[in-house]
């Protein structure tokens, strides 16, 4: 006889999902109290991959800390560097040439597309369809190849410098980016036919995990999670930064509040990012990519500085408290996934485990970004 599984007083049992579980995509642990297939209660346990990025930010000088940012979120790395660099430039009063800012936006948007593509593949894989991941990775590969030629890396970029960029883009990159845009649009059509229109896919996501506006606001959710619940908030539009005001793009908002709405928002965002890249390539001004007098040592005057940017995962904020020294007094990194993830505990109560894990996929969690 096998030993019986330990049950709670009301015949519930604890199911430990993670830290190594295929659905959590990283080292996230969810302690679920289950009543058969139904979740009675769930508690997300984080901290398995904590690397003290904020503390490191306080111990290292500003240029030394640059490469840490892209290790926060390995899928949308450029966006995080952008937030940090904008914050330090604001604090130290460094002027950025226009061309550099345009190239930054191109890189951030390309990286956003790459991140959304990976999420798309992984999300469909959570639902049991394997092949879309391979197609998405193939499209993502084009972006990585393009960016590798300019930045020198494929995943954890350290491309931005205070005041500009490490390397200028060349005609080859521009040509590749122009070729990529129609190709990606064609792929989006294909995903639409293969996945979005699939009846099993739609049935699983329609009405799955209703997230009201109030819940989203309560937890400080951003990105597609908030925009899928009808909250029209995007840092690029609401607190404009960089050269975003010069582009014509839409903020996709869906009001269904379910997982399908969150999926639709991200897929629509890919199209909007393509539009931004297209316009940025057209408008790209000539000129230097670094200011003539870029400071060698960065010492922002004492003060409290904050900069928010819209990364692929939502509103990312850098708060920098400087005491006038070579290193910041305090470096706080506001991680969007941290807020998005905490919706899970409350919302998944009473859901079936497979619906809950589909919901978790729709939140687009990147665990190293939560733990920092």
Partner 1 sequence: MSLTLFNVIGAVIVAIAFVALNAAYLVWAERRGAGRIQRRPGPNINGPLGLLQPPADGLKLMAKQLVIPGGADKVLFVAAPVLCMFPALMSFVTIPFSETIVAHNINVGLLMIFAFAASGSMALLFAGWSSRNKYAMMSAVRSVSQAVAYEIPMLITAITIVMITGSLNLMDIVNQQGPSVLHWNILPIFGESKNLLMPLSFLLFFVCTLAETNRAPFDLGEAESELVAGFHIEYGSMGFGLFFMAEYANIVIGACLTTILFLGGWHPPLPMLSFIPGVVWFLLKVYALIATVIWIRWTFPRTTIYGLLNLSWKILIPFSLFNLLLTAGLLKVF
Binding site for partner 1 (CB under 8 A): 1-3, 5, 13, 15, 21-23, 34, 36-37, 124-131, 134-135, 138, 194-195, 198, 200-201, 203-204, 352-355, 357
How many angstroms separate the CA atoms of 14 and 12, rounded? Answer: 7
Q: How far is the CB of 324 from partner 1 (least distance, A)?
A: 51
Q: How many Cβ atoms from other residues are within 10 Å of residue 128's Cβ?
A: 11
d(CA 84, CA 160): 10
Cβ proximity to partner 1, 109 vs 126, nearer residue? 126
Q: Least Å distance between CB 336 and partner 1?
A: 24
Closer residue to partner 1, CB minimum distance, 284 or 352: 352
Least separation in angstroms between residue 358's CB and partner 1 is 9
CB closer to partner 1, 194 vs 281: 194
Task: Identify which of residues 28 and 108 has a Cβ nearer to partner 1 in the complex.
Answer: 28
Q: Residue written as tokens 């003290």?
A: 52
Sheet arrangement for strand 314-322: 303-311, 314-322, 330-334
Closer residue to partner 1, CB minimum distance, 37 or 148: 37
Nearer to partner 1, 110 or 195 (CB): 195
Smallest distance, Å, CB 118 to partner 1?
15
Coil, strand or helix: which one is 282?
helix
For the chain, the maximum distance between any two Cα atoms, rounded to a whole number of angstroms, is 79
Distance (Å, whole) CA 215 – CA 43: 17
Helix (H, G, I), strand (E, B) or coil at 279: helix
* Minimum gap (Å) between residue 215 Cβ and partner 1: 23
The CA-based angle 308-312-313, given to 5 degrees, is 75
The residues near 170 (Cβ < 8 Å, ≥ 6 apart) are: 150
* Nearest distance in Å: CB 36, partner 1: 8
| Spatial distance between the Cα atoms of 7 and 14, rounded to a whole number of angstroms | 8
Smallest distance, Å, CB 357 to partner 1? 5
Kindly tell me which of 19 and 230 has the beta carbon lying closer to partner 1: 19
Whether 31 contacts 55, CB under 8 Å:
no
Please report how close the Cβ of residue 28 comes to partner 1 at its closest, in angstroms: 14
In the complex with partner 1, the residue whose CB is nearer, 62 or 201, is 201
Give whichever of 36 and 303 is closer to partner 1, judged by the CB atom: 36
Helices (H), the chain: 53-59, 62-69, 77-92, 98-126, 131-151, 171-191, 199-205, 213-219, 223-227, 235-238, 259-283, 336-341, 343-347, 353-362, 367-371
**Closer to partner 1 at the Cβ: 243 or 354?**
354
Q: Which of 122, 113, 112 has its CA nearest to residue 24? A: 122
- Smallest separation (angstroms) from partner 1 to the CB of 326: 47
The answer for 128, left when phi > 0, alpha when psi is -120 to 50, beta otherwise, is left
Q: Are 344 and 369 in contact (CB under 8 A)?
A: no
Positive or negative torsion for Cα 213, 214, 216, 217: positive
Q: How far is the CB of 366 from partner 1 (least distance, A)?
A: 17
């Amino acid at each position: 006889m096998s030993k019986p599984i330990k049950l709670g007083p009301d015949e519930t049992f604890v199911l430990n999902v993670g830290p190594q579980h295929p659905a959590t995509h990283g080292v996230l642990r969810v302690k679920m109290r289950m009543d058969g297939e139904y979740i009675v209660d769930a508690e997300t346990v984080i901290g398995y991959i904590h690397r003290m990025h904020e503390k490191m930010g306080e111990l290292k000088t500003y240029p030394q800390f640059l490469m840490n940012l892209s290790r926060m979120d390995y899928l949308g790395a450029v966006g995080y560097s952008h937030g940090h660099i904008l914050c330090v430039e604001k604090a130290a009063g460094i002027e950025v040439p226009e061309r550099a800012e345009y190239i930054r936006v191109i890189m951030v948007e390309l990286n956003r597309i790459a991140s959304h593509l990976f999420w798309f593949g992984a999300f469909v894989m959570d639902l049991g369809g394997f092949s879309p991941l391979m197609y998405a990775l193939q499209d993502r590969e084009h972006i990585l190849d393009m960016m590798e030629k300019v930045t020198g890396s494929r995943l954890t970029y350290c491309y931005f410098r205070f005041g500009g960029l490490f390397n200028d883009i060349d005609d080859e990159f521009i040509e590749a980016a122009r070729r990529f845009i129609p190709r990606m649009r064609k792929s989006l059509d294909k995903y639409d036919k293969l996945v979005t229109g699939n009846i099993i896919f739609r049935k699983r996501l329609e009405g799955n995990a209703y997230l009201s506006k109030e819940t989203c606001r309560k937890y400080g959710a951003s990105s597609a999670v908030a925009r899928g619940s009808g909250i029209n908030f995007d840092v690029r539009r609401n607190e404009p930064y960089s050269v975003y005001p010069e582009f014509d793009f839409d903020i996709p908002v869906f009001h269904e509040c379910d997982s399908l709405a969150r999926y639709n928002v991200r897929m629509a965002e890919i199209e909007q990012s393509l539009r931004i890249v297209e316009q940025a390539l057209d408008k790209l001004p000539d000129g230097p990519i670094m200011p003539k007098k870029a400071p060698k040592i960065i010492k922002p005057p004492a003060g409290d500085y904050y900069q928010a940017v819209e990364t692929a995962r939502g509103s990312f904020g850098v708060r920098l408290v400087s005491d006038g020294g070579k290193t910041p007094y305090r470096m706080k990194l506001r991680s969007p996934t941290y807020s998005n993830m905490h919706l899970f505990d409350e919302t998944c109560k009473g859901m079936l485990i497979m619906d809950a894990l589909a919901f978790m996929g729709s939140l687009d969690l990147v665990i190293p970004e939560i733990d920092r």
